Amino acid sequence: MDKRAGCRSGQPADVTRRVALGAALLGGCASRVQPTAGDWAHVPLPGKRETAYSRGSHDGRSAWRARSQGAASVWRRPVDAVVSPSTQVAFSWWVGATIAGADLGRAEVADSPVRVGFAFDGDMARLSRRNRLQFQLIETLTGEAPPFATLMYVWDNHAAPESVIPGARSDRVRNLVLEHGDTHLRRWRDYRRNLFDDFRRAFGEPPGRLSAMALMTDTDNTGSAVEAWYGDVVLEG
């Protein structure tokens, strides 16, 4: 069901990065299913060392462990769900340290110790010409069409909580900052968010159908090492 992202060699680094992120968060599997624990799958990114994801327990919680050392890859689950104005998403994370020098607003150092992402369907005909060309390139190189839009909850070194940071290489990704700096390190942080409202605030319109959820710990741009833990991601309503 999960098609691994890949690309031809010789592509410029910025194109490879854009292709990798677009394909990794894709929810458009050939056969969509309701999520269960067994549906999570590792998605490597072309040309990148892989973040290691494993199931374990941390501070009394059953959780996913992510260890990244100059690496970036995604832990992803396909979803097929309507997002209504009442849809809530509950999730949690634990971060041991921030990533020195990382800044989600700068493409060359756009790493984050934790990301919880949601991919959405939409009318591709409404995309800008630039976006359509990017999406065509991604599909040609990977065999997968990228999602219409991706919302990511993130931890950033600089931006204040509730800030929205457009993706460093694609405006079809929006990062909503929940934590910043060294505040709240080495403790579990629990969140309950209105997914409909957060998407509308980030993109300026209501969301389409939800096609995937994903976890991502990435340090490939800074070459750093970091460990993080993720609790279960639960959709409600």
Integer Cα distance of 174 and 167 in angstroms: 5
Quick check: is 3 in a domain?
Answer: no
| Residues spanned by the domain of 201 | 13-236
Into how many domains does the chain fold? 1
Buried b (16+ CB within 10 A) or exposed e, 136-174: ebbbebbebebbbbbbbbbbbbebeeebebebbbbebbb
Whats the size of the chain, residue-wise?
237
Quick check: is 6 in a domain?
Answer: no
Structural element, H or E, at residue 216: strand 210-218
pLDDT at 190: 99
Lookup: tokens for 158: 């600089």
> What is 81-98 written as a DSSP string?
E---TT-EEEEEEEES--
Q: What is this structure's pTM?
A: 0.85
> What letter does residue 112 receive in the DSSP assignment?
B
Quick check: is 102 in a domain?
Answer: yes
CATH number at residue 230: 2.60.120
pLDDT in tens, the chain (237 residues): 333 333 333 344 454 454 445 445 543 332 333 444 448 999 888 789 999 999 999 999 999 999 999 999 999 999 999 999 999 999 999 999 999 999 999 999 999 999 999 999 998 888 888 888 888 887 777 677 789 999 999 999 999 999 999 998 788 999 999 999 998 999 999 999 999 999 999 999 999 999 999 999 999 999 999 999 999 999 998
The Cβ-side half-sphere exposure at 25, using a 13 Å CA radius, reads 30
Quick check: is 185 in a domain?
Answer: yes
pLDDT at 19: 47
pLDDT at 9: 36
